[in-house]
Structure 1
Amino acid sequence: MKLQTTQVYIPPGVIDLGLGNPHPNLLPLDLLHQSAQACFERNDPACLQYGAEAGNGYFRRALSTFLSRSYGFPVAADNLFVTAGASSGLDLLCTLYTQPGDVIFVEEPSYFLALRIFADHGLRPVSIQTDEAGLVIEDLEQNLKRFRPRLLYIIPTYQNPSGQTLSPERRERLADISRKHDLLVVADEVYHFLNYNGRPPRPLAGYAQNTKIVSLNSFSKILAPGLRLGWIQADSSIIHRLSLCGLLDSGGGMNSFVSALVRSLLENGKLEAHIDRLKTVYAGRIPTVEAALRQYLPGAIYTRPQGGYFFWVRLPGVDTQHLQEQAKAFKVDIRPGVRFSSQKGMSEYFRLCFAYYEANEIKRGIRRLGKCLQSMGQPGV
């Protein structure tokens, strides 16, 4: 009997268009084998000890060099804190900066599993409008007159699920608002490195110095999610507070061993080469997905992704939660929009991911979805 080893199980024959995972073929076993070998050849057992609270110093130095190169501005190691992935970082921030019953602001739509983390902490999300340029600053300002949120959670670049990117002008205004209102802004920037059409705007990490802007990031999208390795970039005062928490006082820094394994990939440039490969693969799938949407769902409304993992598709007049139920008979799955809404809205939307399947398999899944809509009396929408 084969035992389950991964979080998601896809039944045989089913095409899960909503699954936001990289395919196993894109997980670089060879690179990690080389990196692990380099780690063990150092013959330093310190990586097996309780780790420094903010993270392995050599790893943080290597990460700061990588980020400085990638972002185009200097990133100090003292402004970095190692996590067990972006979700772990978000959970820790909620633990230290919120109390049950607190109001927080989230985008509409937002990452549905972040909403689960907020629910675990008993937080009350208030949605802020978004448009094609990301978070609507005017709506944020209006809601700040009504509420005193403990934090704003935002995915500023290639947003999950919408694919939107916050414009440079709005980033500047958001930084000003954070300073003016002493607002903790938690920026989930895990898709920032997956750009397919020009460079993205300056990350919100670049506004962190002397503000309460905190950038979450991760190796899950650019290397392998099973590593459970990520980082927080923030002002040194926030890094200090994180480092003093009871969790780390008891258990030491997060993921000390894995960070030691990954370190050489940061130092030898092989991580950047791997990211370039991922961008080539993912970008190459987008034209086929677009063509399939036009052919099998001609009434669908969407914006071509400029980066990240997702198409955010609207089917006017279709309840996508009902569509998901009906699609089971056609062996295709999606993630309905209502899951990404803190207000139970977005009922005509669904998320389509192009990271897991090859382009032709995605096309086959979209064709199945079109047949499902035909069976519902809504051919092509």
Structure 2
Amino acid sequence: MQLRGCSKQPRFPRCHPYSSPGRLYRMQLPTTPTDDSSRIQMSKLTLVTSPSNSSAAERKPRLDLLRGHPSTRLLPTHAIYEAAGVALNSPSLLPQDSYAENRHPLAYGADNGNANVREEIGRWCAERYRLREAIPLERIFLTNGASYGLQTALSLFTSPVTGYTKCAFVLSPTYFLAGRTFEDAGFASRIVAVRTTRTSLDFDGLLAQLRRVDAERPDVSLEEGLRPLLRGGAPQAAKRLFKFVLYCVPTYSNPTGETMDLDSRRRLVQIAREWDMLIICDDVYDFLGNDDQPAVPPMRLVSIDAETLPRDKPEGETGNTISNCSFSKLVGPGLRAGWIESATGVLAKQLGDGGANHSGGCPSQFTSTLLYPLLLPLSARNPVRKIDSIISTLTLAYTLRCGALVAAIHEFLPAGTEVWGGRGGFFVWVGLPKELDAWEIVRLAAAYEGLVVASGGMSECPGEGNALGWADRWLRIAVSYCEEEELVEGVKRLARAVDRWREGERAVKSDVEVK
């Protein structure tokens, strides 16, 4: 049996090239690319039950440097076990009133999540970011992870189908699975890529595209924009819609590992205000700076937004940014728990008032209550929180891995190779010298070295005209899953693929089996 994707090849893979028990993902690679679009597509992934033929890569242990997962050994299994015992055995955490603002872990959750969890997240984040005061719980909405947070924000704050929201800007290169979420929200033909630099973005390009799109696409009234979204009799003020939306990962970005500088953050918030644009920031890597980096993460866009709102702001002022955060990167992705912080309480309330959320309650009610004991200080005399100890274990491992990876890149890859990132987060962005063909080298590595890395083409934004050529030189390596020695071995295999390319070899097989 074969489960095939679209008959038309996507611009980036629709599924992960990871194996599951008894199955195999085969990467179908074009043998003779005819245009740049095939370089962006990189491959079409097809799930099959057994390999059809053998290859050199089969005889080597598969090495997966694409997987942006935390290593299984780093998952804090025992800490979660203990936290569950606390959460399910403490009378104070097991209230009987199912309408209380703090509810039993197995009850329907409050719309925005248990108040004690949100309040503690506000205190904890204020400590981590060195804010003057705790973030009010009214500005925090509990989610079941950043992917859900992005999807929910797009569904509640934008209206692309009516034309009210004219465009979604996505900083490129981007997280390669974010595009699908924008397409599901109705932006398939309304995505525009904005090129990033190491620490900023192409502001001239962004402004030019804003002017172009605004001129080409007619204005739609708020009444028309809300018509399919507003229940009968509800006032227009019940929902805030934005004319534009922008998506970014500003700190230790996926895929580049780089961080947007403070001046760029301030300028982006100002542009958002001028153009009625919502900025959705995936702030999921902020606390994962390497041990040799500053302890305090950069100021978030949502904090800039909140601190620079007009003093005489009218009632109902929403701000223009949300910070989309997740415990997936900090504790474990299986928990499916995260939070969104908005610049005022208005957008957080609108998220909680969403129909599905209001019906089912907080989507991470059980897991967020399990995490609550990890968020608390150990005692009145000991302000250390268990979650910070868990994070320290991660950053120690990632720091060592980044050091080993970057050293191996300098030792084994050709002179002129660029390295972006390597100071925090999950990823390092590697640019091969211009005379090399990174897209073809990634295919050779898969075909003959058993090495899986993400081609830069996977990080292109979907949509017509959005390809910026990331496949030509660039590739992404994850440090979150493989150990130091595996990362070094991966770089050695990549170097051998470079040598093969220089000697004239090409990945001529139509099927490169990736176990």
Same fold (TM over 0.5): yes
Partner of 2:369: 260
Amino acid at match of 2:287: F
- Once residues 503 and 180 of structure 2 are traced to their aligned partners in structure 1, the CA distance between those partners, rounded to angstroms, is 33
Which residue does 2:438 correspond to in 1? 320
Q: Deviations over 1:222-241 (max 9, x none)?
A: 11111111110002111121
C-alpha contact 1:27 1:224 (8 A) present in aligned 2? yes
1:310 is matched by which residue type in structure 2? F
CA distance in 2, matches of 1:154, 1:378: 39
Match of 1:91 in 2: 151
How many percent identity over aligned positions? 31
User: What is aligned with 2:116?
Assistant: 58
Of 67, 76, 88, which aligns to 2:136? 76
Structure number, greater radius of gyration: 2
Write the mapping of 1:101-180 to structure 2, written as runs, cut at 5 A: 102-123=166-187, 124-148=190-214, 150-180=244-274
Preserved contact between residue 65 and residue 490 of structure 2 (Cα < 8 Å):
yes
Distance, in Å, in 2 between the alignment partners of 1:41 and 1:208 is 40
Tell me the residue number matched to 1:363. 488
- Conserved in 1, the CA contact under 8 Å of 2:129 and 2:297? no
Structure 1 residue aligned with 2:509: none
Change in 2 beyond 3 A, CA 1:126/1:208: same
1:341 to 460, 463, 467: 460
TM-score w.r.t. length of structure 2 = 0.69
Number of residue equivalences: 374
- Aligned equivalents of 2:370 and 2:402: distance in 1? 33
Question: Which residue pairs with 2:427 in the alignment?
Answer: 310
For residues 247 and 322 of structure 1, the distance between their equivalents in structure 2, rounded to whole angstroms, comes to: 45
Q: How big is the shift at 1:91? A: 0.5
Q: Does the residue aligned with 1:21 lie in a helix, a strand or coil?
A: coil
How far apart are residue 324 of structure 1 and its match? Answer: 2.9
Which residue is 1:182 aligned to? 276
2:326 corresponds to: 218
Distance 1:208 1:227, change over 3 A: farther
Do structure 1's residue 285 and structure 2's residue 409 form an aligned pair? no
Distance 1:94 1:378, change over 3 A: farther
Amino acid at match of 2:328: S
Which of 36, 40, 52 aligns to 2:88? It is: 40
In the TM superposition, residue 376 of structure 1 has moved relative to its aligned partner by: 2.0
Deviations 1:359-379 (A, max 9, x none): 111101111111122122269
The answer to whether the Cα contact below 8 Å between 1:97 and 1:150 also exists between their aligned partners in 2 is: no
Is contact 1:208–1:214 with CA below 8 Å preserved after alignment? no
Aligned partner of 2:358 in structure 1 is 249
Tell me by how many angstroms 1:351 deviates. 0.4
Residue in 2 aligned with 1:205?
302
2:402 maps to amino acid? I
SS state at 1:63 partner: helix
Deviation at 1:180, TM superposition (A): 2.0
Question: For the Cα contact (< 8 Å) 1:19–1:356, is it kept in 2?
Answer: yes
Secondary structure of residue in 1 paired with 2:196: strand
SS of structure 1 residue aligned to 2:244: coil
- In 1, Cα distance between the equivalents of 2:414 and 2:17? 34
- After superposing the two structures, state which structure 1 stretch, 154-163 or 298-307, moved more: 298-307
Tell me what 1:191 maps to: 285
User: Does residue 49 of the first structure (1) align with residue 107 of the second (2)?
Assistant: yes
Q: Is the 8 A contact 1:208 1:215 kept in 2?
A: no
Given candidates 45, 53, 67, the residue that maps to 1:19 is 67
For residues 15 and 213 of structure 1, what CA distance do their matches in structure 2 show?
Answer: 39
Whole-angstrom distance in 2 between the partners of 1:238 and 1:38: 32
Q: Counterpart in 1 of 2:412?
A: 296
Could you report, residue by residue, the CA deviation over 1:36-63 in whole angstroms, capped at 9, with x for unpaired residues? Answer: 0110112416211111111111111111
- Which range moves more in the overlay, 113-122 or 18-27? 113-122
User: How high is the TM-score relative to the length of structure 1?
Assistant: 0.93
C-alpha displacement of 1:355: 1.1
| Matched residue SS, 1:112 | coil
Q: CA deviation at 1:7?
A: 9.7
Counterpart Cα distance in 2 of 1:208 and 1:228: 27
- Structure 2 gaps of 5+ residues are 1-15, 25-59, 96-103, 215-242, 310-318, 378-384, 505-515
Q: CA deviation at 1:208?
A: 4.1
Contact 1:133-1:167 at 8 Å conserved across structures: yes
Aligned residue for 2:430, secondary structure, equals strand
Q: Separation in 2 of the partners of 1:220 and 1:86?
A: 8
Whole-angstrom distance in 2 between the partners of 1:152 and 1:20: 23
Does the CA-based 8 Å contact 1:152-1:183 persist in structure 2?
yes
| CA distance in structure 1 between the aligned counterparts of 2:503 and 2:174, rounded to whole angstroms | 28
Alignment check: 8 A CA contact 1:153 1:185 kept: yes
Amino acid at match of 2:299: R
Q: Which residue of 2 aligns with 1:3?
A: none
The structural deviation recorded for 1:326 is 2.1
- Alignment partner of 1:153: what SS? strand
Q: CA deviation at 1:287?
A: 2.0
Deviation at 1:341, TM superposition (A): 1.0
Secondary structure, counterpart of 1:30 in structure 2: helix
State the Cα RMSD in Å.
Answer: 2.0
Q: Deviations over 1:131-169 (max 9, x none)?
A: 122223333222222224620001111111112211111
Q: Is the 8 A contact 1:320 1:336 kept in 2?
A: yes
